[in-house]
Amino acid sequence: MGCRIFLFGTLCHDGLRAKVMGRAVAGCAAVLAGQAVLDLGGLPVLHPAAGQAAQGLLVELGSADLARLDLYEAVFDYRRIDATVQCAGHQVAAQLYAPAQAVPPDTARPWRIGDWAASQAEAALAAADDLFALAGQIGVEALRIRYPMLLAHCASRLRAGRAAQPARLRRDWGRGDVISRQRMTPYAYFFGVQVDDLRFRRFDGSLSPLVRRAGFVMSDAITLLPYDPVRDSVMVIEQFRYGPYLRGDANCWSLEPIAGRIDPGETPEACALREAHEEAQLDLQADALISIGNSYPSPGAVSEFLFGFVGLCDLPKTREGVAGVASEAEDIRSHILPLDDLMALIAQGEVQNGPLIQSAYWLALNRAELRKR
């Protein structure tokens, strides 16, 4: 006889459940009395709620299914506990997955599978495939660290697949013109490293010899330079950066635009507004965002793709503050200065951040038109 498991939240989605189990698994509708399913940072969590009942699915699983499910839930630091649920009018002893440490929900908003399915299910299904592919190479703790970035990368991959690919000058070739013979993941933690032995289409139409290429697997991100066209001023931020430290720079504090990674289910524009608030305590309106171009900063070996914005806003004459998300150990100082002063800092070499240089030059080219508005 198998083990009865009460599933709730994302695993009530037929597609994700099949990915996690490695096969289609049916069950019967069941409820857990005295509990509600609430949204904890995008994750569904049970929370005591008198007079309510959490909707779910009762399934019976064998040892192989349980092993896969245990691994998947362990990535979220969930463990099996005993419970009693109602199914087909009967009280049934079962088990369910709950956080190893009780975490009070940060919002009273109910978690709804329809909302999740519309915004995150596609990325979650792709991430489940990648997660189980990695499971034989790294441990659960490393998977736990890797999963949020893995999910964000899958969302980026899906976004890339839907994006228009103009080819007026470059060849109109596609992914079918690259043949990967072997793929490896030698490193997967906060970032990932992927290695492919591949052949690619050459300009004479032939395939290249087998070559090895390696790159950092990263997710899409935004950059945002706030600009006040009345005062002709900008806001830049300053923070410690590991890259310059790794290179050996004497000064590892970098002047930059506001920037951040796009969460799964989030648009680049929504991310820009969120990051403006988190990093600079600046509240912008969506219609104030101007796209200034999207780009790969280092396409030879990094999958990161940047959506660049300038944000029109009213900036005070001076404001120097420190902000950032405490849970991410961010310590970010903001500066407001005339655009001409920023251009001088670029000319003097004090600004070494590529997206800030690109954004500043875009502004220098377009400032007259923006100020006319």
Same-domain check for residues 198 and 233:
no
Please give the pLDDT value at position 245.
96
Same-domain check for residues 358 and 235:
yes
Same-domain check for residues 261 and 309:
yes
Type and span of the H or E element at 45: strand 43-61
Q: What is the rounded average pLDDT of the residues 203-218?
A: 96
Residue 268 near residue 260, CB atoms below 8 Å: no
Same-domain check for residues 79 and 153:
no
- 322/24: higher pLDDT: 24
Please give the pLDDT value at position 323.
62
Residue 146 near residue 194, CB atoms below 8 Å: no
Does 325 reside within a domain? Answer: yes
- Point out the catalytic residue in the list 141, 328, 330, 350: 328
Is the alpha carbon torsion for 169, 173, 175, 180 positive or negative?
A: negative
Please give the pLDDT value at position 103.
66
Please give the pLDDT value at position 109.
86
pLDDT digits 0-9 by tens, 69-113: 999 999 999 999 999 999 988 999 999 999 877 666 656 689 999
Same-domain check for residues 208 and 240:
no
Same-domain check for residues 231 and 321:
yes
Verify whether residue 328 is a known catalytic residue.
yes
Q: How far apart are CA 245 and CA 353, in angstroms?
A: 14
pLDDT digits 0-9 by tens, 278-316: 988 899 999 999 999 999 999 999 999 999 999 999 998
- Token pair recorded at residue 57: 């699915």
Same-domain check for residues 141 and 234:
no
Q: How far apart are CA 127 and CA 122, in angstroms?
A: 9
pLDDT digits 0-9 by tens, 22-75: 999 999 999 999 999 998 877 899 989 889 999 999 999 999 999 999 999 999
* Residue-number span of the structural domain to which 245 is assigned: 221-372
* Cα dihedral value 325, 331, 337, 343, nearest 10: -100
Please give the pLDDT value at position 108.
66
Separation in Å, CA 182 to CA 176, 179, 193 = 15, 9, 14
Same-domain check for residues 16 and 81:
yes
Q: How far apart are CA 51 and CA 168, in angstroms?
A: 62
pTM greater than 0.75 (yes/no): yes
Q: Could you tell me what percent of the chain has a pLDDT over 70?
A: 94
Q: How far apart are CA 232 and CA 226, in angstroms?
A: 11
Is the alpha carbon torsion for 369, 370, 371, 373 positive or negative?
A: positive
Task: Map tokens 């038109």 to a residue.
Answer: 369
Angle between helices 14-21 and 121-135 (to 10 degrees): 0
Same-domain check for residues 203 and 272:
no
Does 74 reside within a domain? Answer: yes
Please give the pLDDT value at position 209.
97
For residue 35, the domain's CATH number is 3.10.490.10
Same-domain check for residues 148 and 250:
no
Does 41 reside within a domain? Answer: yes
Same-domain check for residues 91 and 196:
no
Residue 163 near residue 49, CB atoms below 8 Å: no
Same-domain check for residues 363 and 277:
yes
Number of domains the chain contains: 3
Please give the pLDDT value at position 82.
95
Q: How far apart are CA 120 and CA 267, in angstroms?
A: 12
Does 321 reside within a domain? Answer: yes
Give the pLDDT band (50/70/90) at residue 362: very high
Please give the pLDDT value at position 42.
78
